[in-house]
Amino acid sequence: MTSPSASQRPLDGFALILGASSGFGEAAALALAAAGMHVIGVHLDRRSTMPHVESITARVRAMGREAWFYNVNAADDGKRKATLDDIDRRLAERGEAGAVRVLMHSLAFGSLRPALPRDGAEALTRMQIEMTLDVMSSSLVYWVQDLVTRGHLARHGRVYAMTSEGSRSALADYGAVSAAKASLEAWTRQLALEGARRGFTANAICAGVTRTPALEKIPGHEAIAAKAVVRNPHGRLTTPDDVAQALVALAGPETRWINGNTIFVDGGEAAAG
Ligand SMILES: NC(=O)c1ccc[n+]([C@@H]2O[C@H](COP(=O)([O-])OP(=O)(O)OC[C@H]3O[C@@H](n4cnc5c(N)ncnc54)[C@H](O)[C@@H]3O)[C@@H](O)[C@H]2O)c1
């Protein structure tokens, strides 16, 4: 009899997804739940988009998994502490302290403006640059610090940080996000170095261009998408589910030696140049 493949073997524990209500975070929530994990989601939504969040939690629960979602600013220290206190309490009630096995950082909240004033467009301010770096990069470190201090992320723990090709190349109005992505990749390497002996790995995941609300906020996004379709060897854009399936595969114990990388999940888009 052959042993089951990694993809058939169910995952266990909890996935904590920062940015779980849309795009890659949403797709990962559904795919990791289908693979056996409970989902803790952090997101920032207005009343108008809450029905969509409720549809995600309903789908996760319909698979027999827990769905604990928190509508809070993930970059706010007080909100992070209150959220983690509540998670600790709920895990303790279930007798599952230390059961967070995946942390995914998939927050999209950046200022899209030029570095220099142009044609009436105002240049980035210090506050905008710092807020973009804080939400899209530094917040990863604070969540990992707290999860480690609270005794999570042990035994085959996984940290995933969503990055983009913008970490290496310049794009109009994308400077603050570019800087945040370069910083996020540096922090991911650092966490990989320091996390290995604590039992978890950390990798940045570089997705190809993908239709999500975040993409649609980038000036000139239609041209970016059209170029990506031409460039991608598969002749199409990446989908959130393409990435979610890769994250499920990377969550298994067989991938524990993959650590400190930026893994391109883009169908070969970046390699195609
Ligand atoms: N879409 C692309 O083409 C693409 C490509 C490569 C990398 N990425 C990266 O993937 C990540 C996710 O992007 P997406 O395209 O899925 O975006 P999205 O807009 O679909 O989702 C963003 C999520 O982040 C949440 N969020 C934003 N700010 C928050 C905050 N302060 N606190 C809590 N939650 C917050 C939103 O509620 C939402 O759940 C981003 O880091 C983005 O840069 C996107």
Q: Is 265 in the pocket of ligand 1 (CB under 6 A)?
A: no
49 C-alpha to ligand 1 centroid (Å): 15
199 C-alpha to ligand 1 centroid (Å): 27
Q: Residue 9's pLDDT is what?
A: 53
76 C-alpha to ligand 1 centroid (Å): 17
231 C-alpha to ligand 1 centroid (Å): 23
Ranges in the chain, pLDDT < 50: 1-7
Residue owning the nearest CA to atom 13 of ligand 1: 108
**Which atom of ligand 1 approaches the CA of 238 most closely?**
3
Cα-Cα end-to-end distance for the chain:
44
Q: Is 164 in the pocket of ligand 1 (CB under 6 A)?
A: yes
Q: Which tens digits make up the pLDDT trace of 60-112? A: 999 999 999 999 999 999 999 999 999 999 999 999 878 999 999 999 999 99
Q: Residue 119's pLDDT is what?
A: 85
- Residue 101 included in any domain: yes
Residue owning the nearest CA to atom 38 of ligand 1: 19
Residue 11, judged by CB atoms within 10 A of its CB (0-12, 13-18, 19+), counts as: buried
**Which atom of ligand 1 approaches the CA of 163 most closely?**
7
2 C-alpha to ligand 1 centroid (Å): 40
Q: Residue 168's pLDDT is what?
A: 95
Bridge partner list, 220: none
CATH code for position 168: 3.40.50.720
Q: Residue 1's pLDDT is what?
A: 36
Query: How many whole angstroms separate alpha carbon 268 and alpha carbon 196?
Result: 28
Total of domains in the chain: 1
3-state secondary structure the chain: CCCCCCCCCCCCCEEEEECCCCHHHHHHHHHHHHCCCEEEEEECCCHHHHHHHHHHHHHHHHCCCCEEEEECCCCCHHHHHHHHHHHHHHHHHCCCCCCEEEEEECCCCCCCCCCCCECCECCCCHHHHHHHHHHHHHHHHHHHHHHHHCCCCCCCEEEEEEECHHHCCCCCCCHHHHHHHHHHHHHHHHHHHHHHHHCEEEEEEEECCECCHHHHCCCCHHHHHHHHHHHCCCCCCECHHHHHHHHHHHCCHHHCCCCCCEEEECCCCCCCC
- Residue 51 included in any domain: yes
- Residue 98 included in any domain: yes
245 C-alpha to ligand 1 centroid (Å): 17
- Residue 9 included in any domain: no
Q: Residue 187's pLDDT is what?
A: 98
- Residue 7 included in any domain: no
Name the residue range of residue 228's domain. 14-265
- Residue 163 included in any domain: yes
- Order of all β-strands in the sheet with 67-71: 67-71, 38-43, 14-18, 100-105, 157-163, 200-207, 262-265
- Record the tokens describing residue 49, joined without a space: 């988009």
- Residue 32 included in any domain: yes
- Residue 108 included in any domain: yes
Q: Is 237 in the pocket of ligand 1 (CB under 6 A)?
A: no
